[in-house]
């Protein structure tokens, strides 16, 4: 049962740790914090800065320029792989989110059944299995299918990406369902809603933040997947990350910095949109 | 609405959770009739099965065996969405993503009623619970007491035959709770709907109910009016759970009709009522109940009992006098502070006069 007493007092008082036990007062806290942030963000900052470099160097600053962005936009190959990556991420995380929503409902909104823990483990398995193993396994498996059917389209990549997006989409949706008061669904049933109506009018609207979170997480994961994509893709199916990897082997130009920066901007946009979406719903 | 006809008829109903030897028997052999238009309370300590029984009536749980009829129709096996019963949940369970008005209109919407009818009923319900000004607010934007009223309005809007209330007042502070008790009685009077109320608060049960069923360990021990439950408890548990009580072990001196002559500590013989169907043998030892307000202090040597004063505890409106009877049995006596009554001295010996009909024999 949810504790309803907290609602009576309006805004609950914010818990404030006692001053002396505040973690910020521990020796070295500031230094560790600063070191961590520098390690996390300095390389990214340098990458962004050099994407605006007029000189074709990663070390020497030659003045401000947008030429590498221009080059990237004018590069037909970059456009092609970017669109392929976005399309793939959209489709794969879309399918993964739908499947995960059903899986989350099936593992939280039912009486406990034998093998439930097993199913939970199986759904999350892609998080545990090394990507290289999945990559090799899919390569062999899909090769067999290719021989049998002759099909060489994007279906393989979609299937592979969907598979490893599922646990990422499943976890936030399941978490949301677990914290959602089951009495709300009971109340809907009590007020004459059929099981489908209760889902449509109560469970689903309340689940939206979890679904959006799951989708976005899946989207980002698919967008930067390298290992499995590398194994599964056929000729001419490069995604942005595998293309970049290929380019870096030959010649590192600030064009890569520009593409990476745009990539970063896109994910920042997604994070911001997600933050704004979830903030209002509390 | 007539108060004679049965609204809910429960026969030989049991509910077992789990299977086999490890199964937990939450409800055993419940037989209960709740009449149309009455305020009926299921009272008992936590874990006694009262909430399970409410859930079985609502349809959230299905009975393991037995029959449940609502308005003459067998509903055991049916889901909650096909029963003419609505619930006010302990935590209110308001839909957080809907406004107050949408919450109240939800039941009618699911029943497929016309927009105009829904709007009219929602307006009527908002007025009934005095929440007109809050119609467009979300549940998180109103206080606990207001959420409570919205939950009531939401459950009443589809005009159910029966309203089930699962400890709805337990989350409110004392003052709000008193206000809501009056409010609930008013709503019940105005709507004529049968209310089935679950609580562990005996005072709430006594003041609000037309009838009470006292439950313990999955069984109904006694059903009756608050007056009957308080004054003629059939079992020790019922007497103990409701109000303050003195228990005395006495010897039966003789049985006559619906009463018995019992020998009190100290030797005096007094008449005690017997619960229906109980006829103890002469000489048997039985337990009698005496409510603290049904004994009076009198001069030593007078009255039915002699006692020694231990201490007095002042409660404002009344004072509790703690006494010891012969044979060391404790006894608490309550007297109203109507005048400047002198408190008896600790250690002094006093007499106790018992009111007519103060003694009630109970089963153990």
Among chain B residues, CA nearest to A207: B97
Q: What is the ipTM of this complex?
A: 0.82
| One domain for residues B52 and B198 | yes
> Which of B:143-162 have CB within 8 Å of A?
143-145, 147, 154-155, 158
The span from the CA of B213 to the CA of B54, in Å, is 12
Number of independent structural domains in chain B: 2
Helix (H), strand (E), coil (C) string for chain A: CCCCHHHHCCCCCCCCCCHHHCHHHCCCHHHHHHHHHHHHHHHHHHHHHHHCECCCCCCCCCCECCHHHHHHHHCHHHHHHHHHHHHHHHHHHHHHHHHHHHHHHHHHCCCCCCCHHHHHHHHHHHHHCCHHHHHHHHHHHHHHHHHHHCCCCCHHHHHHHHHHHHHHHHHHHHHHHHHCCHHHHHHHHHCCCCHHHHHHHHHHHHHHHHHHHHHHHHHHHHHCCCHHHHHHCCCCCCCHHHHHHHHHHHCCCHHHHHHHHHHHHHHHHHHHHHHHHHHHHC
pLDDT at A15 over 60: no
Among chain B residues, CA nearest to A186: B60
Residue with the bigger pLDDT between A109 and B185: it is B185
pLDDT at A160 over 80: yes
Return the percentage of chain A with pLDDT > 70, whole number: 91
**Which residues in chain B have Cβ-Cβ distances shorter than 8 Å to A2?**
91
| Facing residue for A183 by CB, picked from B89, B110, B144 | B89
| One domain for residues B78 and B171 | yes
Best residue in A191, A203, A277 to probe B by mutation, most B CBs within 10 Å?
A191
pLDDT band at A4 (very low <50, low <70, confident <90, very high): very low
By CB atoms closer than 10 A (0-12, 13-18, 19+), residue B334 is: middle
CA R_g for chain A:
24
| One domain for residues B214 and B322 | no
pLDDT band at A1 (very low <50, low <70, confident <90, very high): very low
SS3 B64: coil
| One domain for residues B87 and B216 | yes
Residue B331 within a domain: yes
| One domain for residues B270 and B183 | no
Residue B40 within a domain: yes
The enclosing domain of B211 has a CATH number of: 3.40.50.300
| Facing residue for A193 by CB, picked from B58, B92, B110 | B110
Q: How close A193 comes to chain B (CA, Å)?
A: 5
| Facing residue for B144 by CB, picked from A4, A183, A205 | A4
CA R_g for chain B:
25
Name the nearest CA neighbour of B111 among B56, B44, B171, B158.
B158
* Residues A137-151: tens digit of each pLDDT: 999 999 999 999 988
| One domain for residues B254 and B191 | no
Contacts of B101 (CB under 8 A, 6+ apart): B122, B126, B135, B136
SS3 B310: strand
Residue B190 within a domain: yes
Residue B127 within a domain: yes
Residues B239 and B233: beta-carbon distance below 8 Å: yes
Residues B71 and B161: beta-carbon distance below 8 Å: yes
**pLDDT at position B340, please?**
67
| One domain for residues B182 and B46 | yes
Per CATH, domain A72-281 is 3.30.300.130: no
Chain B within 8 Å of A190 (Cβ-Cβ)? yes
C-alpha distance from residue A282 to each of A62, B151, B176 (Å): 47, 21, 28
| One domain for residues B163 and B86 | yes
| One domain for residues B208 and B257 | no
Cβ–Cβ gap A7/B143 under 8 Å: yes
Chain B within 8 Å of A206 (Cβ-Cβ)? yes
**pLDDT at position A282, please?**
42
Mean pLDDT by runs of 10 across the 364 residues of chain B is 76 88 88 94 93 94 93 90 93 94 95 94 91 92 91 94 91 82 88 93 91 95 94 92 90 88 88 88 91 90 89 90 90 86 85 89 87
The span from the CA of B48 to the CA of B200, in Å, is 10
pLDDT at A11 over 60: no
Q: How close B277 comes to chain A (CA, Å)?
A: 41
Residue B1 within a domain: no
The span from the CA of B169 to the CA of A222, in Å, is 50
Contacts of B1 (CB under 8 A, 6+ apart): B36, B37, B192
Cβ–Cβ gap A187/B89 under 8 Å: yes
SS3 B307: strand
Q: Is the Cα dihedral B167, B172, B174, B175 positive or negative?
A: negative
| Facing residue for B60 by CB, picked from A4, A5, A186 | A186
Of B236, B255, B279, the residue that ends a domain is: B236
> Which of B:67-96 have CB within 8 Å of A?
79-82, 85-87, 89-96
Helix (H), strand (E) at residue B357: none
Residue B249 φ then ψ, to 5°: -90, 125
Tokens 């959006």 locate to: A212
C-alpha distance from residue A7 to each of A255, B80, B141 (Å): 55, 28, 10
Q: What does the block give as tokens for A209? A: 């933040």
> Which of B:167-196 have CB within 8 Å of A?
171-173
| One domain for residues B74 and B173 | yes
| Facing residue for B93 by CB, picked from A187, A192, A193 | A187
**pLDDT at position A18, please?**
58
Among chain B residues, CA nearest to A10: B143
Note down the domain range covering B282. Answer: 244-362
* Residues A213-268: tens digit of each pLDDT: 899 889 988 988 899 999 999 888 999 999 988 888 877 778 888 988 998 898 88
Best residue in B95, B140, B157 to probe A by mutation, most A CBs within 10 Å?
B95
Q: What does the block give as tokens for B264? A: 């009190």
The enclosing domain of B316 has a CATH number of: 2.40.50.140
Of B217, B236, B255, the residue that ends a domain is: B236
| One domain for residues B225 and B253 | no
Task: Count CB-CB contacts under 10 A for residue B42.
Answer: 30
* Residues A170-186: tens digit of each pLDDT: 998 998 898 888 899 99
The span from the CA of B18 to the CA of B23, in Å, is 4
Torsion, Cα A160 A164 A166 A172, to 10 degrees, reads: -150
Cβ–Cβ gap A7/B173 under 8 Å: no
Residue B85 within a domain: yes
**pLDDT at position B265, please?**
85
| Facing residue for B171 by CB, picked from A8, A186, A201 | A8
Arithmetic mean of pLDDT over chain A: 85
| One domain for residues B177 and B302 | no
pLDDT band at A275 (very low <50, low <70, confident <90, very high): confident
Task: Count CB-CB contacts under 10 A for residue A173.
Answer: 26
């Amino acid at each position: 049962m949810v504790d309803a007493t907290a609602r009576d007092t309006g805004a609950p008082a914010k818990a404030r740790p006692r001053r002396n036990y505040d973690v910020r007062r521990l020796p070295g806290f500031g230094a560790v914090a600063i070191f961590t942030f520098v390690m996390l963000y300095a390389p990214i900052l340098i990458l962004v800065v050099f994407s605006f470099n007029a000189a074709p160097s990663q070390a020497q600053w030659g003045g401000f320029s947008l030429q590498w962005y221009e080059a990237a936009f004018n590069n037909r190959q970059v456009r092609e792989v970017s669109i392929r990556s976005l399309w793939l991420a959209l489709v794969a995380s879309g399918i993964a989110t739908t499947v995960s929503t059903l899986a989350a409902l099936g593992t939280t909104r039912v009486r406990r059944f034998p093998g439930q823990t097993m199913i939970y483990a199986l759904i999350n398995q892609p998080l545990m299995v090394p990507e290289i193993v999945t990559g090799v396994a899919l390569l062999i498996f899909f090769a067999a299918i290719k021989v049998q059917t002759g099909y060489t389209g994007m279906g393989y990549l979609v299937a592979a990406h969907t598979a490893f997006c599922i646990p990422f989409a499943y976890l936030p949706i399941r978490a949301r369902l677990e914290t959602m008061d089951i009495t709300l669904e009971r109340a809907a049933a009590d007020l004459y809603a059929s099981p489908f109506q209760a889902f449509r009018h109560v469970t689903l609207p309340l689940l939206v933040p979890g679904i959006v979170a799951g989708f976005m997480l899946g989207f980002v994961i698919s967008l930067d997947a390298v290992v499995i994509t590398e194994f599964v893709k056929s000729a001419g199916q490069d995604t942005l990350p595998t293309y970049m990897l290929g380019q870096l082997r030959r010649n590192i130009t600030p064009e890569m910095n520009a593409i990476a920066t745009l990539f970063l901007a896109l994910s920042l946009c997604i994070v911001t949109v997600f933050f704004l979406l979830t903030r209002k719903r509390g | 609405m007539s108060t004679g006809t049965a609204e809910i008829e429960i026969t030989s109903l049991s509910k077992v959770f789990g299977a086999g030897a490890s199964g937990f028997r939450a409800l055993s052999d419940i037989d209960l009739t709740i009449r149309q238009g009455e305020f009926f309370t299921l009272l008992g300590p936590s874990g006694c099965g009262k909430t399970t029984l409410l859930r079985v009536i609502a349809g959230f749980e299905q009975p393991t065996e037995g029959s449940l009829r609502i308005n003459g129709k067998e509903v055991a096996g049916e889901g909650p969405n096909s029963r003419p019963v609505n619930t006010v949940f302990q935590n209110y369970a308001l839909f957080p993503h809907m406004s107050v008005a949408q919450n109240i209109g939800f039941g009618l919407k699911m029943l497929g009623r016309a927009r105009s009818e829904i709007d009219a009923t929602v307006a009527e319900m908002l007025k009934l619970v005095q929440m007109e000004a809050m119609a467009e607010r979300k549940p998180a934007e109103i206080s606990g007491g207001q959420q409570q009223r919205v939950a009531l309005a939401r459950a009443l809007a589809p005009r159910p035959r029966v309203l089930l209330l699962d400890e709805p007042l337990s989350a409110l502070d004392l003052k709000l709770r008193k206000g809501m008790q009056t409010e609930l009685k008013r709503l019940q009077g105005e709507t004529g709907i049968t209310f089935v109320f679950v609580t562990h608060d005996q005072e709430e049960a006594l003041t609000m109910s037309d009838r009470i069923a006292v439950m313990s360990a999955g069984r109904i021990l006694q059903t009756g009016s608050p007056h009957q439950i308080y004054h003629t408890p059939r079992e020790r548990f019922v007497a103990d759970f409701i109000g303050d009580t003195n228990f005395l072990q006495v010897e039966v001196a003789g049985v006559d009709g619906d009463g018995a002559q019992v020998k009190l500590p100290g030797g005096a013989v007094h008449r005690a009522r017997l619960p229906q169907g109980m006829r103890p043998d002469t000489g048997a030892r039985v337990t009698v109940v005496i409510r603290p307000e049904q004994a009076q202090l009198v001069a030593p040597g007078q009255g039915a009992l002699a006692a020694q004063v231990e201490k007095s505890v002042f409660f404002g409106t009344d004072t509790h006098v703690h006494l010891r009877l012969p044979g060391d049995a404790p006894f608490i006596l309550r007297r109203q502070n109507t005048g400047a009554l002198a408190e008896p001295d600790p250690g002094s010996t006093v007499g106790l006069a018992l009111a007519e009909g103060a003694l009630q024999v109970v089963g153990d």
